[in-house]
């Protein structure tokens, strides 16, 4: 497996987005565990989760607990989790960026994952009722306390990324934003991360759970390049992202072993400059 860097740590160039294993439509627990094992067997060493990946408020923490079970005794895998999203009645989503909440959420994540230190802890989404400096300041304290190894942010715009990096004293390790053929408006954040040497982790890189399977139908250029190489359009999509910058580490979501195996194989696909221009267009 090709390697990339998050701060001073090496991880697989393709990660596993574990969200589909816990939200509505999730697979059986055995299939979920098999999917994680398939990712590890394929060389994946970055797995992304969050405390809010669950069915509803009563199921909060499900994804972290699942990974805590799946990775017990496993070494050499970076687990990235997030705090700051809440779940509300009926399966809704809320936000809480108060420093005291984020620090308490980190403690709960440590417990559910069964670790002493979280590899990468990310502020899930800005809470407009709380200044970013206060929320990210909590991550700085967690770094200083040794509770987390690296700090990241998610769903931040360029100005917010710069502010977060300043608050962290230049220690911002990763930015996780949506990016896919259908959602390209985060190119400025990707470019800023490239310039600053910060890892950029595209979430829903294949278009999301409901659309990933139709990627080739929705975007004909990806299907055409896939046919030329004898691979899936999804592999072409991930290889296209990897070619954009060495800081890019896509985290495609998977709920089946076959899908993460296919995604991991994208590291072996080399696209020509002409093909990349076609896909960019």
- CA–CA separation, 158 vs 189, rounded Å? 5
Residue of 53, 101, 121, 123 with catalytic role: 53
Q: CA torsion sign, 134 to 140 to 136 to 187?
A: positive
Q: How many residues does the chain have?
A: 281
* Measured distance CA(93)–CA(57) in Å, rounded: 9
Residue 60: closest CA among 85, 95, 78: 85
Q: Is 123 a catalytic residue?
A: no
At CA 63, angle to CA 91 and CA 237, rounded to 5? Answer: 95
Look up residue 198 and give its two tokens.
């910060």
Beta bridge partners of 42: none
Which positions are catalytic? Answer: 53
């Amino acid at each position: 497996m090709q390697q990339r860097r998050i701060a001073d740590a090496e991880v697989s160039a393709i990660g596993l987005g574990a969200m589909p294993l816990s939200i509505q439509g999730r697979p059986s627990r055995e299939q979920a565990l098999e999917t994680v094992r398939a990712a590890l067997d394929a060389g994946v060493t970055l797995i992304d989760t969050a405390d809010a990946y669950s069915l509803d408020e009563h199921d909060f923490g499900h994804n972290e607990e699942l990974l805590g079970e799946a990775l017990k005794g496993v070494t050499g895998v970076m687990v990235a989790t997030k705090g700051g999203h809440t779940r509300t009645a009926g399966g809704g989503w809320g936000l809480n960026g108060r420093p005291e909440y984020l620090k308490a959420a980190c403690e709960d994540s440590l417990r559910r994952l069964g670790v002493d230190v979280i590899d990468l802890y990310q502020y899930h989404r800005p809470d407009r009722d709380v200044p970013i400096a206060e929320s990210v300041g909590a991550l700085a304290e967690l770094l200083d306390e040794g509770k987390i190894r690296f700090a990241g942010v998610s769903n931040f715009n360029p100005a917010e990324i710069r502010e977060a990096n300043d608050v962290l004293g230049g220690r911002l390790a990763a930015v996780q934003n949506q990016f896919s053929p259908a959602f390209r408006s985060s190119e400025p954040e990707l470019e800023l991360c490239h310039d600053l040497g910060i890892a950029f982790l595209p979430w829903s890189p294949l278009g999301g759970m409901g659309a990933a399977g139709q990627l080739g139908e929705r975007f004909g250029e990806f299907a055409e390049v896939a046919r030329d190489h004898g691979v899936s359009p999804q592999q072409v999509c991930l290889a296209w992202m990897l070619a954009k910058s060495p800081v890019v580490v896509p985290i495609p979501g998977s709920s089946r072993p076959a899908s993460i195996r296919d995604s991991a194989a994208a590291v072996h696909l080399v696209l020509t400059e002409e093909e990349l221009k076609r896909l960019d267009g």
